[in-house]
A and B are shown apart, each in its own frame.
Chain A
Amino acid sequence: MDHVFFYLFACLTLLCGALVIVNPFTRNPVTSAMFLVLTIVSMAGLFIQLHAFFLAAVQVLVYAGAVMVLFVFVIMLLDLKEEEARKIKATMAGLATVAVAMIALAMIHTIKKSTVGFTLEKPAVEGSTLLIGQRLFTQFALPFEVLSLLLLVAMIGTILLSKRDLK
């Protein structure tokens, strides 16, 4: 059963991920955004396979919810119509594909040769909300607080950037 779900979600993630960047039918950014939502949701399935239940929930809430809404909102705001017409240079795209494929092959080769991570006999960690929350507020309390500062900085930055006359 594990295998079925792993391969299902892995294939779904990769397929939707590929459709984000190369869609044979349209080059509309909205379609890319929608496929990115599908990628993220199927990746949440992979997180559940890894027993990272809290991460799966956060992935759907934050990424598929907040971040993608932001993306779609900006796409709507910019009203991109004529962007679809442009051509991608075929030679450049081919060269890029070859280069990236070589990087992928090198990485996969390294992974296959490495001896890390043989299958565990007993199930390992459970990423339950309770355990993650306990660590977040004890061992990682300082990074957690710094993170709130980061969000504040991002908020101020966004407000400044969206002012009409930047001085």
Chain B
Amino acid sequence: MNPISLQDYLVVTVALFCIGLLGVIVRRNILVIYMSLELMLNAANLALAAFSRFNNNLNGQIIVVFIITVAAAEVALGLALIVALYRRRQTTHVEDLATMKL
């Protein structure tokens, strides 16, 4: 049996990213869409960590630390936006939030 290669990790990453993308497209609850976005970010993190390991370069893991911090800030802001939106419209359903649609 071959050892686990970079390709194996990247396939998992792609699958996870696509699950997140599908969630963003299909789901209509803005909170679940937000969770799917987190899934996509996590997939990118995993790819960076895998590249870091297999290319013998620690900088990839440093970037992941930065991404996790940015994601935490992003979640705090995004959820504050969702709460503000809910306060005004009483809904978290994206089809009810279409005032800016042409």
Number of interface residues, chain B, beta carbon within 8 A: 72
Residues of A contacting B61 with CB < 8 Å?
52, 54-55, 125, 127, 132
> Once the chains are docked, how many angstroms separate the CA of A13 from the CA of B55?
24
Interface of B is mostly: helix
> Once the chains are docked, how many angstroms separate the CA of A101 from the CA of B18?
8
A74 with B54: CB separation less than 8 A: no
B31 with A71: CB separation less than 8 A: yes
Considering only CB atoms, which chain A residue lies closest to B27 in the complex?
A21
Residues of A contacting B59 with CB < 8 Å?
135
B7 with A32: CB separation less than 8 A: no
Contact code string B1-26 (vs A, CB < 8 Å = 1, else 0): 11111111111101110111111011
Given contacts A21-B26, A127-B58, 20 further A-B contacts (CB under 8 A): A2-B4, A20-B35, A29-B31, A29-B32, A50-B50, A51-B53, A59-B45, A63-B42, A67-B71, A67-B72, A71-B79, A117-B7, A118-B5, A140-B62, A147-B70, A150-B69, A150-B73, A154-B76, A157-B77, A162-B80
On A, residues with C-beta under 8 Å from B are 2-3, 6, 10, 13-14, 17-18, 20-22, 27, 29, 32-33, 36, 39-40, 43, 46-47, 49-52, 54-55, 58-59, 62-63, 66-67, 70-71, 74-75, 77-78, 80, 83, 86, 88, 92-93, 96-97, 99-101, 103-104, 107-108, 111-112, 114, 116-120, 124-125, 127, 131-132, 135-136, 140, 143, 147, 150-151, 153-155, 157-158, 161-162, 164, 166
